[in-house]
Structure formats: structure tokens, C-alpha cells
């Protein structure tokens, strides 16, 4: 079998970091400080650290996306091939965790060409580079494939092709498989490995799925929030020498699984929400996102909704939460959720009633932030639900402590790290003390410590009698928490 052609690659880049630090606008604490690190051309580095350690901040800075004129304070020196990263953007390619956020055009070929056009590549040279990049990632369709018809794994391949078409000497990958199902994540890792072997590019990878990511790398660097590098070396050496300490600090390391929650006696289970043969189609779509699904969410029980990317899991979660009205079938409340209103479609409830009884965590946490501080975000739901101010404030302070957000209480929610945003979104759902929690990927971007904290928190709420319905690709989390599992089949595209 002939290997796919590889886009002509630039020489691999060298990274030099000397006493570098960054503090975000309005923050007291430094996101990173006293960071000293050298990455040689062609090295593959796995960047680890607890949530909030500054991993994504470092990648953004290396990609030239941090401008001190925007209010960020920096110190020390950060160089890509001896230049300020803002002057070396032609040498770097950054791939984010959410492929949909990087796809801007309606056809696959046009999307890959978009970056080349922005770099003023001559028109006659664009399509050769587009085709070479699509071939390099083994994209299974033609240039004309509609981007909305791609699965999550296919979207990430396309986003990677767009990055490779720029011929970077440095690949910066920020949890590139985090939003993918296990099969899609494995496909992307295999493609990345082949691409790196052919191009020889330098790589910095941030990834929480450490067991799967280690095979892609030859070096591990562990960061500590505001404290620089705390471990550096070959993966096996770092994990043998520091594994237990790193796990205790919240870093995911092989062979150190978190402790499972203790099973406790629970109140009797009752139906809360019933979905009967529900279907939904988004405006302008040619096919239903989900069709003919039956589901019962119950108190004192955790229900996991699993399935491949594109199977309709997030759509089903929004229907259960009353935030979408089904096109076919019905989603109704049981008497245990709203006495006197059993069998009433929950999508018709007033917002104040909905927020008191059902707490929702969206797939993208930023979609539910409405205030300028973390504390105000936690107070907003209780105020809208009519919870007394003193009770709402007490709940907010408890959640800030429980989910390790207290030092960020006055920070703007949009300035948090990905893992911190996810924890805040979970906290806002809990703040109104609802009977049913509907969570979309609650462990997305979490370090080992906060993953464990979320698991035990959810298990405790379930054992107290709350109903929990959660969408996840996180198999260990589903195994540890779920009492029942609903697997949605792959939808035709």
C-alpha cells in the first residue's frame, strides 16, 4: 500500500522558554511563572499538569495569540526559532479540542483552503496543498464534502488538514481528542502519528487521556500552576519516579486509578421525566438528529447516555432538560418532579419553574455564562428561582469550596481554563438544588483530582435522591457512576 503524500513540511521548530510567566488581566495569581524549558526540533512533548496549571495558556502564547497590549502581563522570554511567537506565526499550527470551533466553511476543501488564503498563498498553489493535506490525514471524502455532514472524528481530521496545509514546523495540540468518542479519538491519534513520522514536526500535546497519548510522545513535561516545570523526562521515567506525587496533585498518570465512590443506601426511586418516542430535527437539516427514543430519568439513579459523535446525545439531553421541544413524541414530567403537573410537557414550563427543578450543564460551558464573575454566576440561578438570598449565598460558597473555585470567585468566567469553566457550569446547575441534573460531558477537561471530586459529588447527590442524567464519552466515569446506560446508535449523515 502506497503511503499518502505528505505536504511539504517546514523544518521542525525549536522552542526556548526562559523564566517566562503570564498573568491574565484582572487576576492576582500568575497563570504561569518562572517557566524555563527547551524543546528541540522534532521532539514530541506531552504537556501535563492539574487543571489551571497554564497548559493551554502556554500553547496559545507559543501560537502567537497572546498580546501584552490586551492587558496580559508577561515576564521572561518565549521564543519559537529564536523569534517572538507573534513574529513566528508562519511556523506554528494550533489545533483546538473542539473541531466545530475551527471549521468555518461549508465544504471540506474550502475549509482547508481558508487558512492558505488568509496567508496570501498564490491561488495556483492552494489546491495542490489542500489535496496533499487531505491525503495526509486520509480524509475519506472529496473536497466537496459538506462539513455539516462530517462526524466528530472526521471534523477533527479536516481541522488537522487545515493546520498541515500551512506547513508548520511546530504543531500545538490542545486536547485534540477531548470531544470525540473513543473510536474517533483513536483514529485521530493514528493519523497524528503517521503525520508526525512523515513531517518530523515538533509537537506539544496537551491531553488528559494520558494512557492513550503516551504512545505519541517521547517526553513528558509537567507544569504546576504559577510554579514552572515540576517534572521532565521520558514518559516511563517520569511516571516511575513521580507517579504517586503527580496523581496526588491531580495529574492523570498511568496505573493510578481514582478511588471509586462508596455505594450507600438510597431513597426509593421514582420517575422524574419521561421521553416517549421523541424525535427532533434542527432547522435546515435534511435528517432528524434523533428519532424514536424512549427514556425515563429517575430519582436516586444515574443514567448515562452514550454513543458515537453525531448520534444525538446532546440533543436528547436538551429535550430532557426542557430546553428543546420535540418534533415528534413527547417529553413530560412525572408527579415526583412537579406535583399536580404530571404528564405536562416540560418545554412549556416557565423558566423560573424549570430552573428550580432541572439543572442543566451544556456541552459548551460558555453558552451558559451570563455574568462578570464566578460568584455572581453561582448566585444567578437561585435568584431567578426565588431562593432566599442567604440560602443562595451559602450554596454558592459551598460549591466554590467543593469544586476548587474559591480562588477564582471574582474572576470573569470567560477567562477561566477549560477545566475550570466546566466545573463552574456544573456548580451553576447545582446552585438551585434541582431534583434532576442533566449534564453534557461533565468531566470534559478535568484533571484527576477534580474528576474524582465530580464523581463523588454526583454519586452523593444520587444517593441523596437526586436524579442524574449525563451524556459522556468518558467510559471510566460512566462505569463508576451509572446505574443504567442508554446507547444511541450512529446516525446516517
Residue whose entry in the numeric block shows the C-alpha cell 477561566: 416
Determine the straight-line distance between the first and last CA of the chain, rounded to whole angstroms: 29
Contact indicator for 345, 276 with CB cutoff of 8 Å? no
- For the chain, 493 residues long, give each residue's pLDDT as a single digit of tens: 444 445 555 789 999 999 999 988 877 888 899 999 999 999 999 999 887 788 989 999 999 988 877 788 899 999 999 999 999 988 999 988 777 778 889 999 999 999 888 888 888 889 999 998 898 888 888 999 888 878 777 888 898 889 888 889 999 999 888 777 888 888 888 888 988 888 899 999 998 878 888 999 999 999 987 778 999 999 999 999 999 999 988 888 888 888 888 888 899 999 999 999 999 998 877 788 899 999 999 999 999 999 988 888 989 999 999 999 999 999 999 999 988 777 889 999 988 888 889 999 887 788 889 999 999 999 998 998 889 999 999 999 999 998 889 999 999 998 887 778 888 988 999 999 899 999 998 888 788 888 888 899 899 999 999 999 999 999 999 999 999 999 999 876 5
341-354: string of b/e by CB count within 10 Å (b at 16+)?
A: beeeebbebeeebb
| Beta-sheet strand order (sheet of 301-306) | 358-361, 436-440, 467-471, 301-306, 484-487
In sequence order, the 6+-apart residues with CB closer than 8 A to the CB of 394 are none
Contact indicator for 47, 213 with CB cutoff of 8 Å? no
In sequence order, the 6+-apart residues with CB closer than 8 A to the CB of 96 are 102, 159, 174, 175, 176
| Ordered structural domains, the chain, with CATH | 15-249 (3.40.50.300), 271-487 (3.40.50.300)
Residue 394 CB neighbour total at 10 angstroms? 13
E strands present in 87-245: 92-95, 170-174, 202-206, 219-224, 228-233
DSSP H or E segment with residue 358: strand 358-361
Residue 25 CB neighbour total at 10 angstroms? 10
Task: Cell numbers for 88, please give them.
Answer: 513566528
Residue whose entry in the numeric block shows the C-alpha cell 444567578: 380
Contact indicator for 8, 167 with CB cutoff of 8 Å? yes
Length of the chain: 493
Quote the pTM value. Answer: 0.83
Return the pLDDT at 235: 94
Q: How does DSSP assign 141-174, residue by residue?
A: S-TT-BGGG--HHHHHHHHHHHHHTT--SEEEEE
Q: What are phi and psi of 422, to 5 degrees?
A: -65, -45
Return the pLDDT at 262: 86
Residue 415 CB neighbour total at 10 angstroms? 15
Task: Cell numbers for 374, please give them.
Answer: 464566578
Amino acid at each position: 500500500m502506497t503511503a499518502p503524500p505528505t505536504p511539504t513540511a517546514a523544518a521542525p521548530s525549536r522552542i526556548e522558554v526562559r523564566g517566562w510567566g503570564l498573568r491574565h488581566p484582572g487576576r492576582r495569581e500568575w497563570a504561569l511563572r518562572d517557566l524555563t524549558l527547551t524543546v528541540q526540533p522534532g521532539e514530541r512533548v506531552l504537556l501535563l499538569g492539574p487543571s489551571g496549571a497554564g497548559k493551554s495558556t502556554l500553547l496559545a502564547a507559543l501560537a502567537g495569540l497572546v498580546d501584552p497590549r490586551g492587558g496580559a502581563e508577561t515576564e521572561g522570554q518565549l521564543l519559537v526559532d529564536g523569534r517572538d511567537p507573534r513574529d513566528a506565526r508562519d511556523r506554528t499550527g494550533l489545533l483546538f479540542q473542539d473541531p466545530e470551533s475551527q471549521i468555518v466553511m461549508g465544504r471540506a476543501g474550502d475549509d482547508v483552503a481558508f487558512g492558505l488564503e488568509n496567508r496570501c498563498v498564490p491561488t495556483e498553489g492552494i489546491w495542490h496543498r489542500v489535496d496533499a493535506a487531505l491525503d495526509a490525514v486520509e480524509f475519506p471524502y472529496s473536497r466537496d464534502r459538506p462539513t455539516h455532514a462530517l462526524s466528530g472524528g472526521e471534523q477533527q481530521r479536516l481541522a488537522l488538514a487545515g493546520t498541515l496545509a500551512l506547513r508548520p514546523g511546530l504543531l500545538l495540540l490542545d486536547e485534540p481528542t477531548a470531544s470525540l468518542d473513543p473510536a474517533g479519538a483513536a483514529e485521530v491519534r493514528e493519523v497524528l502519528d503517521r503525520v508526525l513520522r512523515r513531517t518530523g514536526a515538533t509537537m506539544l500535546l496537551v491531553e488528559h487521556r494520558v494512557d492513550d497519548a503516551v504512545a505519541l510522545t517521547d517526553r513528558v513535561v509537567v507544569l504546576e500552576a504559577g510554579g514552572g516545570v515540576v517534572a521532565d523526562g521520558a514518559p516511563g521515567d517520569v511516571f516511575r519516579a513521580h507517579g504517586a506525587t503527580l496523581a496526588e496533585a491531580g495529574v492523570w498518570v498511568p496505573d493510578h486509578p481514582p478511588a471509586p465512590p462508596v455505594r450507600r443506601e438510597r431513597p426509593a426511586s421514582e420517575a422524574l421525566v419521561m421521553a416517549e418516542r421523541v424525535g427532533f430535527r434542527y432547522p435546515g437539516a435534511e435528517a432528524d438528529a434523533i428519532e424514536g427514543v424512549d427514556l425515563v430519568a429517575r430519582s436516586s439513579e444515574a443514567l448515562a447516555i452514550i454513543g458515537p459523535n453525531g448520534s444525538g446525545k446532546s440533543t436528547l439531553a436538551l429535550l430532557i432538560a426542557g430546553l428543546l421541544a420535540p418534533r415528534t413524541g413527547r417529553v413530560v414530567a412525572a408527579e415526583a418532579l412537579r406535583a399536580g403537573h404530571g404528564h405536562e410537557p416540560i418545554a412549556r414550563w416557565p423558566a423560573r419553574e424549570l430552573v428550580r427543578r432541572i439543572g442543566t450543564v451544556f456541552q459548551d460551558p460558555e453558552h451558559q455564562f451570563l455574568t462578570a464573575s464566578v460568584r455572581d454566576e453561582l448566585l444567578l440561578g437561585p435568584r431567578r428561582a426565588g431562593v432566599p438570598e442567604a440560602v443562595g449565598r451559602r450554596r454558592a460558597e459551598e460549591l466554590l469550596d467543593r469544586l476548587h473555585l474559591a480562588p477564582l470567585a471574582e474572576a470573569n468566567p470567560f477567562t477561566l481554563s477549560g477545566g475550570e469553566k466546566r466545573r463552574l457550569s456544573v456548580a451553576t446547575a447545582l446552585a438551585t438544588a434541582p431534583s434532576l441534573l442533566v449534564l453534557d460531558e461533565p468531566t470534559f477537561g478535568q484533571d484527576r483530582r477534580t474528576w474524582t471530586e465530580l464523581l463523588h459529588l454526583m454519586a452523593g447527590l444520587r444517593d441523596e435522591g437526586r436524579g442524574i442524567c449525563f451524556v459522556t464519552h468518558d467510559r471510566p466515569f460512566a462505569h463508576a457512576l451509572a446505574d443504567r446506560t442508554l446507547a444511541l446508535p450512529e446516525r446516517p449523515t
